[in-house]
Amino acid sequence: MESTEAFSIPESPFTLDEARARGIPRSVLRRKSVEHVSYRLYRLSDSDFNLREAARALCAASPGAWISHSTAARLHGLVLPPWLGTSNDLHLSKAAGTAEARRKGIVGHKMTFFPGEIESDGELVMGTRARTWLDMARVLPLADLVCMGDQIIRIPRPEFDGRSKPYATIGQLRAMLERHKNLQGIVRAREALELMRVGSDSAPETLLRLAMLNAGLPEPDLQLKLWSSRNSPSADAGYRERRIALQYDGAHHRDPEQMHSDRRRDKAFEAAGWMVLVFTDEDLADGFQGAVRQIRSALRKAWVDPSIASGFAAGA
């Protein structure tokens, strides 16, 4: 009888080489307690699925390949629609001209790539966020692709994000599209790029803006500051000349402290003579159709005093 004390089976997915390094006999890998996930990949049968660990093991078993598409998007924390955001499919890409990855439980792709489009953290080899956005162009509806793109080009706040530069710029994405003129989904990617804007801090903010554009409303400014000072209250979107501020307050805005901060923000705009329209998850649920009607009505009612407008623009 084999001694279970001579080795330990990893709780996370592992490769055949990792099993050998631990001294795990092949007979143990054939037990019911161990699941053969795919070629040279194993895990404990009763273990919970962990996407990162599964992707790590897949990378270890697939030299020269990289994690891509929705798997990379999830690992990068990119926004995805609900029908993709919980998928446990493992997408693996290999260079064009090589044999496609054909494994149980693996979605294989053959892709052309250029320097700077693949990255590694020492455990995972993945398409960059920018390249993942392009790969998802053949799968995602246009609005979802714009949401992901806005997330990538967003200028981060160092105190919250731990970085000061966006993952990619509009110019860098445009250059990448030029390198992949024949890629499936390139037409949708180009269309999405023209709709992307720096300043959307969340997918709902992007969807609100797209709903406004689809309804024929003027495109709003984003991250609109009341004053020019650093600590000025700001609106997610709005029209300075008409003094209309638009806010999207999602679920985290229900926190009492956040609600107090939001109300103080809105009062500052109102005290300066602005109309403040606040939208929530309920507006998101109906595709912002009600929000569009409110904004259209506000635009009809708004008036512009050039002296006041120029005063605000100067930070008065």
The label of the residue with tokens 């270890």 reads 60
Residue 144: what residue type? D
| Beta strands, E only, the chain | 14-15, 34-38, 41-44, 66-67, 90-95, 106-111, 118-120, 125-127, 221-225, 234-239, 244-248, 275-279
Which pLDDT score is estimated for 27? 80
Residue 42 has pLDDT above 80, yes or no: no
Residue 306 has pLDDT above 50, yes or no: no
**270 pLDDT tier (thresholds 50, 70, 90):** very high
- Which two tokens mark 147? 């949401």
Which pLDDT score is estimated for 253? 62
Question: For the residues 252-275, what does the mean pLDDT come to?
Answer: 88
Which pLDDT score is estimated for 238? 97
Question: For the residues 110-133, what does the mean pLDDT come to?
Answer: 96
- Residue 104 contacts residue 38 (beta carbons within 8 Å): yes
Which pLDDT score is estimated for 8? 78
Which pLDDT score is estimated for 106? 87
Helix/strand/coil for 148: helix
CATH homologous superfamily of 203-313 equals VSR Endonuclease (3.40.960.10)
User: Is 34 or 148 the better-scoring residue by pLDDT?
Assistant: 148
Ramachandran class of 77: left when φ > 0, alpha when ψ lies in -120 to 50, beta otherwise = left
Nearest to 123 by CA among 168, 56, 67, 190: 56
Note the pLDDT tens digit of each residue in 190-227: 999 999 999 999 999 999 999 999 999 999 999 999 99
Q: What is the mean pLDDT of the chain?
A: 88
Which pLDDT score is estimated for 61? 87
Backbone torsions φ then ψ of 8, nearest 5 degrees: -130, 135
Q: What is the DSSP string of 198-209?
A: TT--SHHHHHHH
Residue 271 has pLDDT above 90, yes or no: yes
Backbone torsions φ then ψ of 14, nearest 5 degrees: -145, 160
Domain boundaries, the chain: 49-195, 203-313
Residue 314 has pLDDT above 60, yes or no: no
Distances from the Cα of 19 to the Cαs of 37, 42, 152, in angstroms?
14, 9, 38
Question: For the residues 242-253, what does the mean pLDDT come to?
Answer: 87
**307 pLDDT tier (thresholds 50, 70, 90):** very low
Which pLDDT score is estimated for 309? 40
